[in-house]
Amino acid sequence: MSSSNSSTLKEMRNGSVSENGLDYKSGYGYGGGVKDQYGEDSATEDQLITPWSFSVASGSTLLRDPRYNKGLAFTEKERDAHYLRGLLPPAIFTQELQEKRLMHNLRQYEVPLHRYMAMMDLQERNERLFYKLLIDNVEELLPVVYTPTVGEACQKYGSIFRRPQGLYISLKEKGKILEVLKNWPEKTIQVIVVTDGERILGLGDLGCQGMGIPVGKLSLYTALGGVRPSSCLPITIDVGTNNEKLLNNEFYIGLRHKRATGKEYEELLEEFMHAAKQNYGEKVLIQFEDFANHNAFDLLAKYSKSHLVFNDDIQGTASVVLAGLLASLKLVGGTLADHKFLFLGAGEAGTGIAELIALEISKQTKAPLEETRKKIWLVDSKGLIVSSRMESLQQFKKPWAHEHEPVKGLLDAVKAIKPTVLIGSSGVGKTFTKEVVEAMASLNEKPLILALSNPTSQSECTAEEAYTWSKGRAIFASGSPFDPVEYEGKVFVPGQANNAYIFPGFGLGLIISGAIRVRDEMLLAASEALAAQVTQENFDKGLIYPPFTNIRKISAHIAADVAAKAYELGLASHLPRPKDLVKYAESCMYSPVYRSYR
In the chain, the amino acid numbered 192 is I
Nearer to ligand CC(=O)C(=O)O, 181 or 206 (CB): 206
Question: Whole-angstrom Cα distance, residue 19 to residue 2?
Answer: 9
| Cβ distance to ligand CC(=O)C(=O)O smaller for residue 58 or 195 | 195
Asked if 202 is part of the footprint of ligand NDP (rule: CB under 6 A), the reply reads: yes
In whole angstroms, how large is the CA radius of gyration of the chain?
Answer: 24
List residues binding Mg ion (CB under 5 A).
289-290, 313
Is residue 556 at the binding interface for ligand NDP, with CB under 6 A as the rule?
no
Q: Which is nearer to ligand CC(=O)C(=O)O, 56 or 144 (CB)?
A: 144
Residue number with the shortest CB distance to ligand NDP?
347
Q: Rounded to whole angstroms, how far apart are CA atoms 568 and 578?
A: 13
Is residue 217 among the annotated active site residues? yes
Q: What is the 3-state secondary structure (H, E, C) of 401-447?
A: CECCCCCCCHHHHHHHHCCCEEEECCCCCCCCCHHHHHHHHHHCCCC
For position 199 contacting ligand NDP by CB under 6 A, the verdict is: yes
Question: Do residues 129 and 100 make contact, with C-beta atoms less than 8 angstroms apart?
Answer: no
Nearer to ligand CC(=O)C(=O)O, 193 or 379 (CB): 193
Candidates 70, 132, 217, 375; catalytic one: 217
* Chosen residue from 313, 380, 460, 586 binding ligand CC(=O)C(=O)O by CB under 6 A: 313
Q: Which of 30, 68, 116, 146 is catalytic?
A: 146
Please tell me whether residue 347 binds ligand NDP under the rule CB under 6 A.
Answer: yes
Length of the chain: 598
Residue 385, H or E segment = none
- Does 313 bind ligand NDP (CB under 6 A)? Our answer is yes
Residue from 152, 312, 380, 586 touching ligand CC(=O)C(=O)O (CB under 6 A): that is: 312
Relative to beta strand 383-384, strand 448-451 is unpaired
Query: Which residues have CB under 8 Å from 302's CB, separation 6+?
Result: none
Q: Which of 328, 426, 478, 498 binds ligand CC(=O)C(=O)O (CB under 6 A)?
A: 498
Q: 270 to each of 27, 306, 389, 541, how far by Cα in Å?
A: 35, 12, 33, 48
Cβ closest to ligand NDP, residue 189 vs residue 413: 413
CB atoms within 10 A of CB 276: 24
For the chain, the distance separating the N- and C-terminal CA atoms, rounded to the nearest angstrom, is 8
Query: For the stretch 438-472, what's the b/e string if a residue is b when 16 or more beta carbons lie within 10 angstroms of its beta carbon?
Result: bbbbebbeebbbbbbbbbbebbbbbbbbbbbbbeb
Using CA of residue 397, residue 400, residue 405, residue 407, what is the dihedral sign? negative
Determine the residue with CB nearest ligand CC(=O)C(=O)O.
454
What is the DSSP track for 221-279?
HHHTT---GGGEEEEEEE-----HHHHT-TT--S--SPPP-HHHHHHHHHHHHHHHHHH
> Could you tell me the smallest distance in angstroms from the CB atom of residue 206 to ligand CC(=O)C(=O)O?
12
Residue 594 a catalytic site member: no
Choose from Mg ion, ligand NDP, ligand CC(=O)C(=O)O, none: what does 215 bind? Cβ within 5-8 Å by kind.
none
Q: Under DSSP, is residue 130 helix (H, G, I), strand (E, B) or coil?
A: helix
Helices 581-588 and 503-513 cross at an angle (nearest 10°) of: 100
Q: How far is the CB of 505 from ligand NDP (least distance, A)?
A: 14
DSSP state of 93: -
Instruction: For the CB of residue 341, give the shortest distance to ligand CC(=O)C(=O)O in the complex, in Å.
Output: 20
Taking the complex as a whole, the smallest distance from the CB of residue 236 to ligand NDP amounts, in Å, to 17
Nearer Cβ to ligand NDP (207/345): 345
Per-residue binder mask for ligand NDP (CB under 6 A), 348-387, x = binder:
xxx----------------------------xxxx-----
454 binds ligand CC(=O)C(=O)O (CB under 6 A): yes
Strands 167-170 and 232-238, bridge-based pairing: parallel
Beta bridge partners of 361: none
Nearer to ligand CC(=O)C(=O)O, 272 or 503 (CB): 503
Q: How far apart are CA 15 and CA 86, in angstroms?
A: 30
Q: Using the rule CB under 6 A, is 458 a contact of ligand NDP?
A: yes
Question: What gap in Å lies between CA 47 and CA 65, rounded to an integer?
Answer: 21
CB of 44 to ligand CC(=O)C(=O)O, least distance (A): 32
How many residues bind to ligand CC(=O)C(=O)O according to rule CB under 6 A?
9
Which of 499, 513, 533, 555 lies at the binding interface for ligand CC(=O)C(=O)O (CB under 6 A)?
499
CB of 329 to ligand NDP, least distance (A): 20
| Residues making contact with ligand NDP (CB under 6 A) | 199, 201-202, 293, 313, 317, 320, 344-350, 379-382, 425-428, 431, 452-454, 458, 479, 497-499
**Which residues lie near ligand CC(=O)C(=O)O (CB under 6 A)?**
147, 201, 290, 312-313, 454, 479, 498-499
- Give me the active site residues, please: 146, 217
